[in-house]
Amino acid sequence: MKVITIGREYGSGGRTIGKMVAQKLGIPYYDRELVDEAAKRSGLAVEAIEENDQVVTRSFLYDLAIGTSYGYVNQTGIPLDLNTQVFLAQREAILKFAEQPCVIVGRCADYILRDREDLLRVFVYADKKARLDRIVKEYGEDPAKAEKLLAQSDKRRARHYEEFTDSIWGARRNYDVLLNSATLGLEHTAEIICRMAE
Amino acid sequence: MKVITIGREYGSGGRTIGKMVAQKLGIPYYDRELVDEAAKRSGLAVEAIEENDQVVTRSFLYDLAIGTSYGYVNQTGIPLDLNTQVFLAQREAILKFAEQPCVIVGRCADYILRDREDLLRVFVYADKKARLDRIVKEYGEDPAKAEKLLAQSDKRRARHYEEFTDSIWGARRNYDVLLNSATLGLEHTAEIICRMAE
């Protein structure tokens, strides 16, 4: 049994697929829980991490304002910026969770765990129409805003990934398999992942 | 049972995987055979097609020299250029082969058959090191030339695909699944495709 990481485009159903896989295989599923775990370890307030989760900001003043709760420092003892703090805290949580078979959605987990042998790195994607449908029907977003939301979310995920991994989000080289949830269907996609993990 | 198209990076083992899949499923496998079939239909010499196969050239003189064997013409009766002739002849062959379940490797088959319901569009890739190893060990190429060969071949395939499909070769949107043959292994990759096709 493997540790399964799932990267996903916004609206592709990657989260739902991840939960299905975890349930079918009887292993834990991690997503937002990682943030909480990360918060506990870093000493940062959960709200600060949630606000900054997957957002890459370089605002000096903002960093300065909550600089007092910094936990990680660089080699010369200077505290690292907030995003790096959050990333490192998430990384610790991911490493801990991955001590046992589990499903981890998002959070650059594929990159963090890339040297492990028992890892299945999945990326779930779908065409734009299917994703817009899903954002409106499943997430209850305003149809008029769905397209903008989709573009913003993808951009944010890509920037976050590229910031910390020095690689390109969704680029096939970073994964073992990429699955099109729109043409395969969510249930079938989850089944394929389960069979690959066993 | 589906028609399976396999796009693949040079040296990723896509041809071998395609043959394994066809054998496991007991369905025909097409690759170079397509060229012969295309030749028969277009009336062009096999050699001319083989020379031009997956090469996009815009040499007016070269086109002119064998212009007498042109079969396809544009809307005003003017013969189409050689590459388009070859592509259209291959397209006809692919459409005929795909009347029954089969495996078709390369040749923009995923694009040509994209509107079919019973289609599984696969792309096989691998990291550079694995591909270089394969080119040298399996294809018997000179190690000193392997890297250049790899770059040239990928570039040629990408240009050919983009020329005729107006889309990007290897871009995930064009496929149902992308599989990393270096991390999954050739046999396992073939098994996954079989299970997805059934």
Same domain, A73 and A115: no
pLDDT at A73 over 60: no
Segments of chain B with pLDDT less than 50:
46, 54-70
Whether A33 is in a domain gets the answer: no
- Find the mean pLDDT for residues A152-171: 89
Same domain, A174 and A91: no
Distance from CA of A104 to the nearest CA of B (A): 19
Same domain, A5 and A63: no
Report the C-alpha dihedral over residues A127, A130, A132, A136, rounded to 10 degrees.
-160
Whether B115 is in a domain gets the answer: yes
**Pair type for strands B177-180 and A177-180:** antiparallel
The H-assigned helical ranges of chain B are 14-25, 32-42, 46-52, 60-65, 82-97, 109-112, 128-137, 143-165, 181-184, 186-197
Whether B2 is in a domain gets the answer: yes
Same domain, B23 and B113: yes
Counted across chains A and B, CB pairs separated by less than 8 A come out at 49
The H-assigned helical ranges of B100-142 are 109-112, 128-137
Average pLDDT, chain A: 82
Whole-angstrom distance, CA of residue A122 vs CA of residue A172 = 10
More confident residue, A122 or B49: A122
Same domain, A23 and A43: no
Whether B33 is in a domain gets the answer: no
Same domain, B58 and B107: no
Whole-angstrom distance, CA of residue A58 vs CA of residue A67 = 13
Q: Assess contact for A192 and A179: CB atoms under 8 A.
A: yes
A5, A115, A180: which to substitute to probe chain B, counting the most B Cβ within 10 Å? Answer: A180
CATH of the domain at A145: 3.40.50.300
pLDDT of amino acid A35: 60
Whole-angstrom distance, CA of residue A146 vs CA of residue A132 = 6
Q: Answer with the one of A83, A99, A115 that is the final residue of a domain.
A: A99
pLDDT tens-digit map of A83-105: 777 777 788 888 888 999 999 99
Whether A191 is in a domain gets the answer: yes
Same domain, A131 and A66: no
pLDDT of amino acid B83: 72
Q: Assess contact for B49 and B38: CB atoms under 8 A.
A: yes
Residue A115: closest CA among chain B residues belongs to which residue? B183
Same domain, A93 and A115: no
- Chain A residues whose CB is inside 8 A of the B123 CB are 172
Q: Answer with the one of A99, A115, A149 that is the final residue of a domain.
A: A99
Confidence of residue A46 (pLDDT cuts 50, 70, 90): very low
Q: Assess contact for B70 and B81: CB atoms under 8 A.
A: no
> In this structure, what token pair is assigned to residue B148?
């250049």
pLDDT at A164 over 70: yes
Residue A129: closest CA among chain B residues belongs to which residue? B173
> In this structure, what token pair is assigned to residue A184?
């395969």
Number of domains forming the structure of chain A: 2
pLDDT at A193 over 70: yes
Residues 6+ apart with CB under 8 A from A25: A1, A101, A103, A194, A197, A198
Whole-angstrom distance, CA of residue A80 vs CA of residue A94 = 20
Residue-wise burial string across B31-65, b where 16 or more C-beta atoms lie within 10 A, e elsewhere: beebbebbbebbebeeebbeebbbebeeeeeebee
pLDDT of amino acid A172: 95
Whether B146 is in a domain gets the answer: yes
Distance from CA of A72 to the nearest CA of B (A): 34
- Find the mean pLDDT for residues A149-166: 89
Q: Assess contact for B119 and B113: CB atoms under 8 A.
A: yes
Indicate the pTM of the whole model.
0.83
pLDDT of amino acid A56: 41
Domain enclosing residue A133, as ranges? 1-28+102-198
pLDDT of amino acid B35: 60
Same domain, B72 and B147: no
> In this structure, what token pair is assigned to residue B37?
């079939």
pLDDT of amino acid A44: 57
Residues 6+ apart with CB under 8 A from B33: none
Same domain, B119 and B56: no
Whether A57 is in a domain gets the answer: yes
| Chain A positions with Cβ closer than 8 Å to B | 123, 125, 127, 170, 172-173, 175-180, 183-184, 192, 195-196
Whether B64 is in a domain gets the answer: yes
What spatial distance separates the first Cα and last Cα of chain A, rounded to whole Å? Answer: 5
Long-range contacts of B130-137 (CB under 8 A, 24+ apart): B130/B11, B130/B12, B130/B181, B130/B182, B131/B9, B131/B10, B131/B11, B131/B12, B131/B182, B132/B11, B134/B11, B134/B12, B134/B13, B135/B10, B135/B11
pLDDT of amino acid A175: 96
Strand partners of residue B180:
B125
The backbone torsions φ and ψ at residue A167, rounded to the nearest 5 degrees and listed phi first, read: -140, 175
Residue-wise burial string across A142-165, b where 16 or more C-beta atoms lie within 10 A, e elsewhere: eeeebeebbeebbeebeebbebbb
Distance from CA of A103 to the nearest CA of B (A): 18
Same domain, A117 and A171: yes
Q: Answer with the one of A84, A99, A114 that is the final residue of a domain.
A: A99
More confident residue, B40 or A137: A137
> In this structure, what token pair is assigned to residue B82?
């050689």
pLDDT at A1 over 90: no
pLDDT of amino acid A62: 37
Q: What SS3 state is found at A4?
A: strand
pLDDT tens-digit map of B145-170: 999 999 999 999 898 888 888 889 99
Same domain, B108 and B186: yes
More confident residue, A36 or B109: B109
